[in-house]
Amino acid sequence: MPFVGTLHIDQEVAVSAMLEHDAGVLCAPTAFGHPPLDTLVLAMPVSWKGTLQQYAGRLHREHATKTGVRIIDFVDNGHPALLRMWDERQRGNRAMGYPIADRSV
């Protein structure tokens, strides 16, 4: 299934390089819909449930090689505002049916 949409030049280069190997990491500032993607890494604060739903929803596009999806979420527990956002994301994840595994370091 081809990607339909508009990419910035740097995104086009990144996607082309990733698709050559059918594996890799794509860093995108917004939700990116490419059916083989199965992992979302949240490395910046997100608190609005709608944004979380949009990002996670992109992972659920069907693909022959996909067996599941995973969301990896980093949280800074030393900052009160970021902890509040984390609390909101946890509620959003639960509402979407995602289990939350504590893998704190």
Domain ranges within the chain, ordered by starting residue: 28-95
Rg, the chain, Cα only:
15
Per-residue pLDDT of the chain (105 residues; tens, 9 = 90+): 445 566 678 777 877 776 676 655 666 666 667 788 888 888 777 767 788 888 888 888 888 888 888 888 888 888 898 888 888 888 888 888 888 887 665
pTM (global) more than 0.85: no
Alpha-carbon distance of 90 to 19, in angstroms, equals 32
Helix (H, G, I), strand (E, B) or coil at 35: coil
Helix (H, G, I), strand (E, B) or coil at 80: helix
